[in-house]
Amino acid sequence: MRASQQDFENALNQVKLLKKDPGNEVKLRLYALYKQATDGPCNMPKPGMLDFVNKAKWDAWNALGSLPKETARQNYVDLVSSLSSSSEAPSQGKRGADEKARESKDILVTSEDGITKITFNRPTKKNAITSQMYRDIILALKNASTDNTVMAVFTGTGDYYCSGNDLTNFTSATGGIEEAASNGAVLLRDFVNSFIDFPKPLVAVVNGPAVGISVTLLGLFDGVFASDRATFHTPFSQLGQSPEACSSYTFPKMMGSAKAAEMLLFGKKLTAREAWAQGLVTEVFPENTFETEVWTRLKTYAKLPPNVMRISKELIRKHEKQKLYTVNAEKCAAALERMPREEYAKALRNFLFRKAKAKL
């Protein structure tokens, strides 16, 4: 739901009531979103190099590019709401929201060395993502976008990075498949949007096989470091589904339409090196040195100037954002269509009963 003018005005009032100074970086972001929401894209002359304060404000505003006024208004309201919830309970402070995510057993969130680490932590199910985990990740990314860490990194516990959507997510839905599909489509849209909108560098440390949505999302990451044990598999046709997380747009752009079709239509599983050759992976590391090498590298990256990385990311992404929102919305509408279909139900039955069949 889009923020109304009234929501925006309430947020303007709430900012004045914040008990804690949110820091310069957040204040610049608020300023930029406010200007974008009220005046539209920055068309002021750039202040001189020595006019530090106005130059920083101009840079922050200008970095929003052609972001529509309504989106800026929404982002402003969301940002103020996250700041308000943290300043309302000073004894728990921002940790109130953070702890909610940290308490989740299937998604671990930690912050160290300037890095928010978000771990799929359900190894007995190969880190398959439940509906609650989608919600936990949305919250973790929301917190990480305004806290004082420099980047966010996803990884998995155990032998898998992630086996994708938990195929039992909708099997226990009480309100029927149509209602489950509709709720799922909204959750999926919000989940993917939280990756599109994440303003800091976003990196995946792919420690093992990755399946489904954990692969398609990688097209929205800024860095993908993979163990040579990792594989990348998107068996959508086999599952009677269509590709999500904007991969119908990001994959052909990244690897060309023929190679994207091989993955997204025909479900070809790629090795880490094949995924690197297609531009999906930044670098592949030998399994035995993977963790040490990758985390050493990431800690170095986390020492780079955060504002510059943020502005550069905004510049890289700003022309794409509207397109990504549109593709995401289209896919979610398609998911609504597909889920109640027989092809999907059959794929689900095959998975759920495969072990029983194997014993026959």
Ligand X SMILES: CCCCC/C=C/CC(=O)SCCNC(=O)CCNC(=O)[C@H](O)C(C)(C)COP(=O)(O)OP(=O)(O)OC[C@H]1O[C@@H](n2cnc3c(N)ncnc32)[C@H](O)[C@@H]1OP(=O)(O)O
Q: How far apart are CA 278 and CA 221, in angstroms?
A: 15
* Among residues 30, 63, 64, 128, the one that binds ligand X under rule CB under 6 A: 128
State yes or no: residue 164 binds ligand X (CB under 6 A). yes
State yes or no: residue 239 binds ligand X (CB under 6 A). yes
Contact assessment for residue 63 and residue 188, using Cβ atoms and an 8 Å cutoff: no
Contact assessment for residue 309 and residue 201, using Cβ atoms and an 8 Å cutoff: yes
DSSP string, 103-121: H-SSEEEEEETTEEEEEE-
In terms of CB distance, is 44 or 352 closer to ligand X?
352
**Min. distance of Cβ 177 from ligand X in angstroms?**
13
State yes or no: residue 64 binds ligand X (CB under 6 A). no
In terms of CB distance, is 128 or 298 closer to ligand X?
128
H or E element in which residue 73 lies: helix 69-88
**Min. distance of Cβ 168 from ligand X in angstroms?**
5
**Min. distance of Cβ 298 from ligand X in angstroms?**
26
H or E element in which residue 78 lies: helix 69-88
State yes or no: residue 184 binds ligand X (CB under 6 A). yes
* Among residues 74, 145, 165, 278, the one that binds ligand X under rule CB under 6 A: 165
Q: Which stretch, 140-148, 157-165, 271-279, 306-314, contacts ligand X (CB under 6 A)? A: 157-165
**Min. distance of Cβ 19 from ligand X in angstroms?**
36
Pairing type for strands 283-285 and 223-227 reads parallel
* Among residues 7, 98, 106, 244, the one that binds ligand X under rule CB under 6 A: 244
DSSP string, 295-318: HHHHHHHTTS-HHHHHHHHHHHHT
Provide the edge-to-edge strand list for the sheet that holds 202-206: 107-112, 115-120, 151-156, 202-206, 223-227, 283-285
* Among residues 168, 257, 289, 322, the one that binds ligand X under rule CB under 6 A: 168
State yes or no: residue 136 binds ligand X (CB under 6 A). no
In terms of CB distance, is 35 or 126 closer to ligand X?
126
User: What's at 231, amino acid-wise?
Assistant: T
Q: How far apart are CA 217 and CA 195, in angstroms?
A: 8
Among 148, 131, 249, 110, CA closest to 190: 131
**Min. distance of Cβ 258 from ligand X in angstroms?**
22
Q: Which stretch, 67-75, 80-88, 208-216, 307-315, contacts ligand X (CB under 6 A)? A: 208-216
Q: Taking CB positions, which residue lies at the least distance from ligand X?
A: 212
CA distances, 252 to each of 216, 249, 256, 269 (Å): 12, 6, 4, 16
Contact assessment for residue 127 and residue 116, using Cβ atoms and an 8 Å cutoff: no
State yes or no: residue 187 binds ligand X (CB under 6 A). yes
Which positions from 306 to 335 touch ligand X by CB under 6 A, shown as an x/- string? ------------------------------
Q: How far apart are CA 290 and CA 284, in angstroms?
A: 8
* Among residues 118, 138, 144, 213, the one that binds ligand X under rule CB under 6 A: 213
State yes or no: residue 163 binds ligand X (CB under 6 A). yes
List contacts with ligand X (CB under 6 A).
125-126, 128, 131, 134, 163-169, 184, 187-188, 211-213, 235, 239, 241, 244, 351, 355
